[in-house]
Amino acid sequence: MTTLLDIHDLHVSFPDGDGARVRPVDGVSFSLERGRTLALVGESGCGKSLTSLAILRLVPSPGRIDPGSSIRFGDVDVLALEGEALRRIRGRRIAMIFQDPMTSLNPVFNVGDQITEVMHAHFTITRRDARDAAAELLQEVGIPDPRARLKAYPHQLSGGMRQRVMIAIALAGKPEILIADEPTTALDVTVQAQILEVLDRLRESHGMAVLLITHDLGIVAGRADRVAVMYAGQIVETAPTATLFANPSHPYTQGLFGSVPRLTGPLARLSPIAGNVPPAGRWPTGCRFRTRCPNVHERSETEPPLLRV
Amino acid sequence: MALGAIVLFGLLAPLALPDPAAQPDLAEGVLQPPSVSAPFGTDELSRDVLARVAAGTRVSLAVAGLAVALSASVGALIGVVAGYRGGIVDALLMRFVDGALAIPRLFLLLLILAAWERMPLAAFVVVIGMTGWFGASRLVRAEVLRLRDADFVRAAEALGAGSGRVMFRHLLPNTFGPLLVAATLAVGDVILLEAGLSFLGLGVRPPTPSWGGMILDGRGVLTVAPWVSIFPGLAIIATVLSVNLLGDALRDAADPRSA
């Protein structure tokens, strides 16, 4: 397997108002292989969305990617790209879909315009051909009567349909990597399954790599090849999905599993992890999970955890 | 209702032209009171007042419409650039706008019009348009600031839209609602402004008929032939009122909170 995307020691920082900088993403490394799915799992506020935005250099101002970070896409140094070269990566080679399909589509343009816009931005293509390709994409993501739907405006579509449209838009540039940032969080459970199915099918038929960002371990199983668990701006554990599910080693990962309701097995209370992720800038020294960790010991205060990752 | 009134006004204007508006119609006689053949009477050059009011409708609406279209376009352009670019660009543009807004528009126009005698009508439109975009630019900038971090803008950026495309294809059309409301209300203001300037003899030049100019024409004969001034005055009132009602209706339609 060839490594498609390699992120090494990624730091994203924001000024905290007192002259210092806080680092919501603090030394993240992982790599993504061609045609595979990597799941990035963690609670709200752990830095996973910011990590994905950083890959496309979309960290909102005044945040910045700190020097020393490295994002390599094939043989391209993403952090060295500027202007037109950067625009050519976005959507064309790495595409992204967002959490909330209700707000991710431009309300004043119809579906067809929004899909063909991406094609016109990246390819030389006639309007008619783009229109045909857009209808095909809608068909692929499972929208009935795609020709007619090209003329629909976002407000005329349901949430699930809009997320399908978002996926079609993301696919319009024929990307090699699709970043899906909580693609199903805003949707009904039944629709969630359909959307994930669409993503799986398209990954196979288009040979894309998928970076699936989620807080839901339930949708990771059977879908991702590897899982990276993120906590407080760092990746605390990464393993092949089967290994991680069989034997989660970091207490945070164990905690995440304890928080997922099970349909089979003996009835037991859920054991959620107490508290929330502390905000960036107030992360504890040593092991960042120690304030919420069930098996904390003295060394946690001073030393980072030693885990085989 | 307001919409119907204004459309009717614009449509009827060319149709209701029974005779060449600017030409004296000596058969009618000078300063005739309203009658069947001249419903609004005639002025001191024996011109039919109804015909001139109708022709003035087209002049006034064209001047106001074009000037507002110009200021809305310029304002939208400046506003979207300032709002999306932010930083130093935003600061420079907005400080300029702040400064410009501190100068009363009427005085600015009086100054320009006094300095440039015999200004052609097209230049008059441009001058009014270029002194009216400051408010529109603030409005559009505020909308852009609100939308800049919207998911669909981020999505467009993530999918390879350049900054020009984001600004003009994604952000600008989303500001059209409030801009349209503001522009409609501005049409009423500009009609009044144009009438005022023409009344002062600084706006539309005779013999081109304009309502303000016609009121000025009738000023000298106000006691003997009030109709020469009254009818263009009524036209101004009716038009500005219907434009403002239309603007209010558009605002209600655009804003679900004030149903």
pLDDT band at A1 (very low <50, low <70, confident <90, very high): low
Contact B159 A88 (CB under 8 A): no
Query: Average pLDDT for residues A221-243, to the nearest whole number?
Result: 82
- CB contact at 8 A, A206 and A200: no
- Establish if A127 touches chain B: CB-CB under 8 angstroms: no
User: Among the listed ranges A208-222, A263-277, B80-94, which one has the minimum average pLDDT value?
Assistant: A263-277
Residues 191-250 of A with CB under 8 A from B: none
- Establish if A121 touches chain B: CB-CB under 8 angstroms: yes
pLDDT tens-digit series, residues B73-87 = 999 999 888 888 888
Rounded to 10 deg, the angle between the B121-130 and B176-199 helix axes is: 130
Residue B257 reports pLDDT greater than 60 = no
Residue ranges of domains in chain B, CATH in brackets: 47-254 (1.10.3720.10)
Query: Average pLDDT for residues B102-113, to the nearest whole number?
Result: 84
CA distance B138 to B201: 32
Of all residues in chain A, the one with the smallest CA distance to B85 is: A61
Q: What is the ipTM of this complex?
A: 0.72
pLDDT tens-digit series, residues A192-214 = 888 888 888 888 888 888 888 88
| Alpha helix stretches (DSSP H) within A210-271 | 241-246, 251-258
- Establish if A56 touches chain B: CB-CB under 8 angstroms: yes
pLDDT attached to residue B70: 92
User: What is the least distance, in Å, from the CA of A91 to any CA of chain B?
Assistant: 4
Sign of the torsion angle spanned by Cα atoms A108, A113, A116, A117: negative
Q: Which of A146, A149, A210 is nearest to A175 (CA)?
A: A210
pLDDT tens-digit series, residues A2-21 = 788 888 888 888 887 777 78
pLDDT tens-digit series, residues A70-93 = 888 888 888 888 878 888 888 888
Domain boundaries, chain A: 3-262+270-301
Q: Is residue A264 classed exposed, middle or buried when 0-12, 13-18 and 19+ CB atoms within 10 A define those classes?
A: exposed
Residues 58-97 of A with CB under 8 A from B: 58, 60-61, 84, 87-92, 95-97
User: What is the least distance, in Å, from the CA of B76 to any CA of chain A?
Assistant: 17
Which amino acid does the sequence have at A304? Answer: P
Contact B159 A58 (CB under 8 A): no
CA distance A15 to B13: 62
Residue B2 reports pLDDT greater than 60 = no
User: What is the least distance, in Å, from the CA of B187 to any CA of chain A?
Assistant: 25
∠ at Cα A36 (A34, A132), nearest 5°? 75
Classify domain A3-262+270-301 by CATH architecture.
Answer: 3-Layer(aba) Sandwich (3.40)
Which amino acid does the sequence have at A237? Answer: E
pLDDT attached to residue A268: 65
CA distance A115 to A137: 9
Contact B161 A170 (CB under 8 A): no
Tell which of A106, A110, A120, A177 to mutate to test the B interface (max B CBs under 10 Å). A106
- Establish if A6 touches chain B: CB-CB under 8 angstroms: no
Mean pLDDT of the residues in chain B: 78
Contact B160 A121 (CB under 8 A): yes
Query: Strand, helix or coil at A277?
Result: coil
- Establish if A169 touches chain B: CB-CB under 8 angstroms: yes
